[in-house]
Amino acid sequence: MILPILAIILGFLLLLWSADRFIDGASAVAGHIGLPSLVIGMVIVGFGTSAPEIVVSIMAALEGNPELALGNALGSNIYNVGLIIGVTALIVPIAVHSTIIRRELPLLLLFGAVAGAFFWNDQLGRLESVLLLMGFFGLMAWTTWAALRGKGDPLAAETEQELSSPAMTLGRAILWLLVGLALLLVSSRMLVWGAVSVASALGVSDLIIGLTIVALGTSLPELASSIAAVRKGEHDIAIGNVVGSCMFNLLAVVGIAGVIAPMEALSAEVMRRDWPVMMAMVVGLFIMGFGIRGKGRINRIEASLLLLGLVVYNVWLVSAVLTV
C-alpha cells in the first residue's frame, strides 16, 4: 500500500501547485482581455479554486468511481464551512459586508436543497445531473452579471486591491494556463488511483475516502486563500471563496460526475448522514452570514462551533468504518 499512499501525497502536492498556476494564468489572460477585476475574482478565480474538485471528480467518474466524486463534493463543502470558515474566523472574526455574498447565501441553501431532492431515492440519474449543470451555467451567468454591476460593493474594492499586482505577459499567462491544466489532469489521476487503491486495501467505500482524504486535500486551496484574505482585512473575499466553492461543488462537481457515470445505487448514508451534515453546516453559515440583527459577523465562538461540528462528523465517519 506504500505506492498508493505516495501517489496520494504526490498527487495532492502537484494538484495544489498546478491549481495555483492555472488560476494565475487564467486570471492574467482575463486581465489582458480586459475583464473587470470583480469578474476575474468572482468567476475566473472562483472557478479556478474549485478546479481540483472538478478535475478529480471527472477522473473518478471516468474510472467508474462516481461515489468518490460525490463524496469529494459533499465532503469538500463540509470542510469548506467547518474547517476553512472555522479556522479563518478563529484567526480573525469575519465580518460580512458584501450584498453580493448576502445574495449568494440563499442560493447556496437552495442548491443544497435541490441536490438533496435529487439524492432522495438513493440515485442520481443523468437527467438530474444535466439539471445541476444547467443550474451551474445559470449561476455563472448571474455571477458575471452581478460582478459587472457590483462596482460599489465592498467585495469589488477588496478584489481590486487583491488583483492590483502587475500582470504577467500574455504569452507567459497562456503558458501557465496550459501547464496548470495539464498538471491538474495528471495529478488528479494519480490522486484518484491512490485513493481507490487505499480504499480497496482498507476495505472501506469510495464514498468514505471521498468524504475524508480527498475532500480535505482538495479543500486546501480555499483554506490557504481564505486565511491570506482575512490577514489582509479582505473578509468578503474569504467568505466569498467558500460560498462560491460550495455552489460550484453542488452544481458542477456533482453534475459532471453524474453525467459521465449516473449513480444508480447511492449509499443510503448519503441521505442519512452526509447530506444532512452538509446542510446543517450551510444553514449555520447562512445564519452567521446574515446575523440575528442583520449584521453578519462570524466570531470565534461560532468558529469553534463549526470546528466542533467537523470533528464530531469525522468521529461519526470513523466509527462507521470501524463497525463495518
CA distance 174 to 42: 20
Average pLDDT, the chain: 84
Which of helix, strand or coil describes residue 268? Answer: coil
Longest alpha-carbon distance in the chain? 56
The sign of the dihedral angle between the CA atoms of 61, 72, 222, 114 is: positive
Condensed to tens digits (0 to 9), the pLDDT of residues 262-299 reads 998 888 899 999 999 999 999 999 988 877 655 678 88
CA distance 300 to 242: 17
Contact at 8 Å (CB) between 41 and 163? yes
Which cell numbers hold the place of 70? 460525490
Summarize the chain as % helix, strand, coil (round to 5): 80, 0, 15
CA distance 223 to 264: 33
Condensed to tens digits (0 to 9), the pLDDT of residues 68-83 reads 889 999 999 999 999 9
Residue 146 confidence (pLDDT): 74
CA distance 316 to 322: 10
Condensed to tens digits (0 to 9), the pLDDT of residues 82-118 reads 999 999 999 888 887 777 677 889 999 999 999 999 9
Nearest to 3 by CA among 289, 196, 212, 280: 196
The sign of the dihedral angle between the CA atoms of 177, 183, 187, 192 is: positive
Residue 159 confidence (pLDDT): 61
- Name the most confidently modeled range: 23-27, 151-155, 156-160: 23-27
Condensed to tens digits (0 to 9), the pLDDT of residues 217-271 reads 888 777 877 887 777 777 777 788 888 889 999 999 999 999 999 998 888 899 9
What is the chain's Cα-based Rg? 19
From its phi and psi, is residue 64 left (phi > 0), alpha (psi between -120 and 50) or beta? Answer: left
Residue 324 confidence (pLDDT): 61
In which band, very low, low, confident or very high, does the pLDDT at 168 lie, cut at 50, 70 and 90? confident
Which cell numbers hold the place of 96? 460580512
297 sits in which H/E element = strand 297-298
Which of helix, strand or coil describes residue 164? Answer: coil
Return the residue matching grid coordinates 467537523: 310
**What is the extent of the structural domain holding 126?**
2-322
- Name the most confidently modeled range: 27-31, 171-175, 182-186, 256-260: 256-260
Paired sense of beta strands 297-298 and 94-95, if any: antiparallel
Nearest to 300 by CA among 96, 98, 88, 101: 88
Return the residue matching grid coordinates 450584498: 99
CA distance 202 to 196: 10
The CATH number of residue 148's host domain is 1.20.1420.30
Contact at 8 Å (CB) between 82 and 313? yes
Name the domain count of the chain.
Answer: 1
